[in-house]
Amino acid sequence: MQVLNKNKEQKVRTKKIQGPMERMRQKAFTIIMIPYVVFLVLTKGLPFVWAVIMSFTNYTGFNIGNMKFVGLNNYIRVFTDADAIPSIGRAALIAIIVVPITVTLCLMLSLMLNQKMRGIGFFRTAWYLPSIVPGVATVMMWRGMFIKNGGVFNQILSYFGYNAIDWMDFGHVQMSLIIMLLWGAGGGILTNISAMKSIPTELYEAADIEGAGFFTQFRKITLPLISNMIYMNIITGLMSMLQLFAQPVMLSGEGGLTATPIRPIYTYMVHVYQQIFVNMRFGYGLAMVFLIFILIMALTWLAEKTSKLWVYSEVD
């Protein structure tokens, strides 16, 4: 009872402390936020709820009049669909290969590009360039290089007297896709460099005095202090790899976004897209989307829970 009274007293005191200006500010904040919240609910919240509802129906995009509720059937179907689970496996395999290499490459590049030397701006731009080139152009460029008849890679092989390789056959296409994805490894350079720049120089000066070499400084100072940025790169990398869609589809060639890539690069989101926009299984496709959403949420939660062990933070 005493505690309650204390809280009340505190609230009253706080209210008393708030002047008319503060109250007006709060009101203004609320009023300014209303359009945003309304906009958010209308454009994100309602479609999300609508999609959740549709994932429990046999919605095909054209049967809104005679749509049926199918319970958990769409969700169960994901586990019996011969293509769904293997396609997650493929996306996961690509993620396991691409994310660590990309993060490591990006870290090494960031270290090199964080040096003070003449013309470093050019190299920073050059490495970051792939990240700002439109994805379609990137894939078309790589496709042109991989294509068996007349592609750049096979012309180089031919010049040195080697036989041509079918870079997009069952045996090579996954490697070709991974090579293409690694080309964008410089995407995290800017954030890494900015994190490195925010490390106080006094730490390095003190380490120099103590006789610590480059690798010790990297291991003891740089790496811990930019570990939150590495953490972010890993999480966003995993998310984008598990949702890999446009690159395998466009690499496969004809048919636009509804093209069917060959098995080794037929990823989960490609299968989702095929279900919704080729086979008109909107309900099933949405159930697939929510399952990958849950999987990504679970992985992110796991990473967050274990982050205390390997990500440096100044806040407990």
Partner 1 sequence: MRKKIIIFMSLCLALTSVLSGCGGQNSGKDGEKKHIVVTFGKDEITGEVAEAETIFADYLAEHPDVEIEINSLNATDPKMLAMIASGNAPDIIRLNAPSDVATYVMRNMIIPIDEYVEKSDVIKMEDYYDVINLFRFDGKSVGKGDLYGLPKDWSIGSQMWINTALFEENGVRIPTDEDPFTFEEFAEAARKISKKNDDGTMAVIGADLGIGANYNYIEYMLSQQGKSYWKDDFSGTTTLTQQETKDAIKWFFDLQQQGALTSKLNEISSTYAWFAEGKLGMWNQGYWASAYFRDENTDMKIPLENVKLVPGPVFDKNNRKSSIMKATGGVISAQTKHPETAYSVLEYMMTGALAEARAKKGFGFPIEKSKISLLPMANVIDEQAKLATDNDAKYLSYDMKYNPYVNASSIEASFNKYYIPALYGEMTLDEALKAMEEDIEILISEGKEIAGVE
Please pick, from the candidates 11, 220, 263, 308, the single residue that binds partner 1 as defined by CB under 8 A: 263
Q: Identify the three-state secondary structure at position 72.
A: coil
- Exposed, middle or buried by CB within 10 Å (0-12, 13-18, 19+), for 156? exposed
Does residue 61 interact with partner 1 by CB under 8 A? Answer: yes
Spatial separation of the C-alpha atoms in residues 232 and 304, rounded to whole Å: 10
240: left (phi over 0), alpha (psi -120 to 50) or beta: alpha
Does residue 309 interact with partner 1 by CB under 8 A? Answer: no
Which residues are within 8 A (CB) of 83 and not within 5 positions of it... i.e. 6 or more apart? 266, 271
Spatial separation of the C-alpha atoms in residues 226 and 199, rounded to whole Å: 8
Does residue 66 interact with partner 1 by CB under 8 A? Answer: yes
Which residues are within 8 A (CB) of 60 and not within 5 positions of it... i.e. 6 or more apart? 280, 281, 282, 283
Does residue 243 interact with partner 1 by CB under 8 A? Answer: no
Does residue 200 interact with partner 1 by CB under 8 A? Answer: no
Please pick, from the candidates 135, 144, 200, 213, the single residue that binds partner 1 as defined by CB under 8 A: 144
Does residue 141 interact with partner 1 by CB under 8 A? Answer: no
- Containing 193, the helix (H) or strand (E) segment is helix 189-197
Please state the closest distance from residue 148 (CB atom) to partner 1, in A: 6
HSE-CB at 86 with a 13 A cutoff on CA atoms is 8
Spatial separation of the C-alpha atoms in residues 295 and 130, rounded to whole Å: 29
Does residue 135 interact with partner 1 by CB under 8 A? Answer: no
Spatial separation of the C-alpha atoms in residues 134 and 277, rounded to whole Å: 23
Binding mask 19-58 for partner 1 (x = CB under 8 A): --x--xx--x--xx--x----------------------x
Instruction: Give the interface segment with partner 1, choosing from 88-96, 162-170, 192-200, 212-220 (CB under 8 A).
Output: 162-170
Asked if 249 and 257 count as a contact pair (C-beta separation under 8 A), the reply is yes
Instruction: Give the interface segment with partner 1, choosing from 117-125, 195-203, 221-229, 269-277 (CB under 8 A).
Output: 269-277
Of the two residues 105 and 280, which places its CB atom closer to partner 1 in the complex? 280
- Neighbouring CB atoms inside 10 A of 104's CB total 12
Number of residues that bind partner 1 (CB under 8 A): 47
Of the two residues 148 and 207, which places its CB atom closer to partner 1 in the complex? 148
Please pick, from the candidates 18, 258, 300, 313, the single residue that binds partner 1 as defined by CB under 8 A: 258
Radius of gyration of the chain (CA): 26
Please pick, from the candidates 162, 214, 218, 301, the single residue that binds partner 1 as defined by CB under 8 A: 162
Positions in the binding site for partner 1 (CB under 8 A): 21, 24-25, 28, 31-32, 35, 58, 60-64, 66, 144, 147-150, 154, 157-158, 162-164, 166, 168-170, 253-258, 260, 262-263, 273-274, 276-282
